[in-house]
Amino acid sequence: MTVARRERLRRAGVAALDICVVAALYYGSAEMGLIQQLVRGQVTPLWPPTGIALASLLVRGIRVWPGITLGALLANVSLGPSIPAVLAIVAGNTLAPVCSYALLRRAGFRVELDRLRDALALIFLGAFAGMLVSATTGSATLALAGALTAGRFWPTWSVWWTGDAMGVLVVTPVLLVLRSAHRPKGVPPSRWVEGLLLVAATVCVGLIETGGTPLLFLGFPLLIWAAFRFQLAGAAPCALVVSTFAIAAAARGAGPFAGHDLLTNMITLQAFNGSSALTALVLSAAVSERNQSQKEIARACGQLAEMVAKVATGGHLATLPDGVGLKDGEEEHGGRTRRQR
């Protein structure tokens, strides 16, 4: 067997493994998403598989799309009204993250999410625009199959779209953070203490949310704290935890979700989850971009100071632009310097 053939077989094996892993993650997260009790059995307020699908495409490339299709098929085969309807829903669930991936690649998206433009691209192109495909395809399929009445089309479409979009906004950033996660070196103990305090405060706020107290707004100071101090590595997991506790409170009808109908609870929940995700993404990206700009300015100032020091010693005048370093009243003429009279 030639070396080229072995390399092709190795690449094919890696691609097959990636597809199987994506399918397993998609199916597992779909089963977890269906546990949510608000609109169980049809659409959910947070659909994690969309976030996993888009993150897989961004990290492993377009070659893993069959894994998304396989996972969506396994997740929907027992839910759909008929086989053709299931296949149509699976096609929409596959095309949505693929379209989001294409839009993000077109916009020059970077998986580090360290620029404000990357955060805005993920929000408006990856979540809001790309997930229109799955929501429209799925809702239309259910309506044509007779599983959805005409009066329920737009409410179902809106919940489907926001659920898929929330999956991208909440889950995808966490997976992108885990992609480059490593144990930090040289971190002072006070930094670890601060991180533990942030985790403890987030858990306490979540318990308060699910305990019946209408204090959802307490999550926003934690998101701001995480974004300023830890950027995306802290803000993305914090947003996921806060949104998860909010969904648990809505499912129990506790806190601000007590005594309201399903539509009101869905609007309140999606508004909160969307606001928390937007706050985490935009603020952490803006802080990261500011920190990077400060580093570049400091580097440029250091280089300029080094050049000035060299000029002061008279050792590297030849490296300066034309006319720089001449004394007042002198000008360069014919490769020599003469004083103006």
Sign for the CA dihedral angle at 203, 170, 70, 93 comes to: positive
Rounded Cα gap, residues 207 and 102, in angstroms: 39
Rounded Cα gap, residues 214 and 210, in angstroms: 9
Collapsing DSSP states into helix, strand and coil, what is residue 2?
coil
Rounded Cα gap, residues 197 and 5, in angstroms: 54
Alpha carbon 212 to its chain centroid, in Å, reads 30
CA dihedral in degrees (319, 321, 325, 326; nearest 10)?
A: 120
Collapsing DSSP states into helix, strand and coil, what is residue 338?
strand
Task: Catalogue all structural domains in the chain, each as residue range(s) with its CATH number.
Answer: 1-181 (1.10.1760), 184-317 (no CATH)
Both structure tokens of 38: 């608000």
pLDDT at 186: 76
Give 339: exposed, middle or buried? Use CB within 10 Å, 0-12, 13-18, 19+. Answer: exposed
Amino acid identity of 14?
V
pTM confidence score: 0.82
How many Å is the maximal CA-CA distance in the chain?
A: 96
Beta-carbon contacts of 169 under 8 Å, excluding residues fewer than 6 positions away, are: 51, 122, 123, 127, 239, 273, 274, 277, 278, 281
pLDDT at 180: 78
Both structure tokens of 199: 């985790």
Rounded Cα gap, residues 285 and 304, in angstroms: 28
Percentages helix, strand, coil for the chain (3-state, rounded to 5) are: 75, 0, 20
- Tell me the pLDDT of the chain (341 aa) as tens digits: 677 777 788 888 888 999 999 999 999 998 887 776 455 455 577 899 999 999 999 999 999 999 999 999 999 888 777 899 999 999 999 999 999 999 999 999 999 888 899 999 999 999 999 999 999 999 899 889 888 887 888 888 888 898 899 999 999 999 999 887 777 777 788 888 998 999 999 888 888 777 667 777 888 999 999 999 998 989 999 999 988 888 888 877 777 777 777 778 778 888 888 899 999 999 999 998 898 899 999 999 998 998 888 888 865 444 444 544 444 444 444 444 444 43
In order of 226, 313, 321, 327, the CA distances from 338 in angstroms are 61, 22, 18, 10
pLDDT at 255: 75
Closest CA to 45 of 279, 281, 276, 268: 268
